[in-house]
Amino acid sequence: MVVDELSDESVDRLFHALADATRRSILRRCVRGELSVSRLAEDYPMSFAAVQKHVAVLERAGLVTKQRRGREQLVRTDAEAIARARQVLDELEATWRGRVDRMARLLAQDPEPDDKTPKEG
C-alpha cells in the first residue's frame, strides 16, 4: 500500500475496517500470519461465514493479506499500515514526553515557598 496514493475511498475503507472490535482483534492475532480463517473462526462466538466476512473487510482495506498454504488460507496482518499509525503516535508521545520533562525542569528551578522538596521530573 503506497501512503501518498491513499484516496478518500481507501481512507474510508480503513476507518470502517478498524471501527469493529472483532476486526481489531483479528488484526492483533494475525501479526505472525499463522492462522487460517477456519482456525480464527473457532475463537469467535460467530459463524465461519461471519469471520470470513470480517477478514474480507480487512483485506479490502489493505490491512491483511491472505496466503495460500496447502488447503488453507492463512491471514496475515499488513504490519505496515498499522505501523504507520503507531509510528506517528509514538513520535507524538516522544514529543510530549520531551515537553513534559522540560516543564518539570523549569518548575524545579522555582524557589520553594515552603520546606517541601521539589520532585525531580
Partner 1 sequence: MSVTRVDKDLDNLTLTLIADFTAPVDRVWQLWADPRQLERWWGPPTYPATVEQYDLTPGGEVTYFMTGPEGDKHHGWWRVASVNPPTSLEFLDGFAHEDGKPNDEMPTTTMRVRLTEHDGGTRMELRSVFDSREQMERMAEMGMVEGLRQAVGQMDAQLDA
Reading the block at residue 30, the C-alpha cell is 494475525
Residues 95-114 interacting with partner 1 (rule: CB under 8 A): 96-104, 106-107, 110
Residue 106 · residue 100 · CB < 8 Å: no
- Interface map 60-99 toward partner 1 (x if CB under 8 A): ----------------------x-xxxxxxxxxx--xxxx
Among 16, 18, 37, 54, binds partner 1 (CB under 8 A): 18
16-24, 42-50, 56-64, 65-73 -> range binding partner 1 (CB under 8 A): 16-24
Calculate the alpha carbon distances from 109 to 4, 22, 113, 116 in Å.
Answer: 45, 50, 12, 14
Spatial separation of the C-alpha atoms in residues 110 and 118, rounded to whole Å:
9
Mapped onto helix, strand or coil, the DSSP state of residue 35 is strand
For binding to partner 1 (CB under 8 A), which residues are involved? 3-4, 6, 8, 11, 14-15, 18-19, 24, 82, 84-93, 96-104, 106-107, 110, 116, 118-119, 121
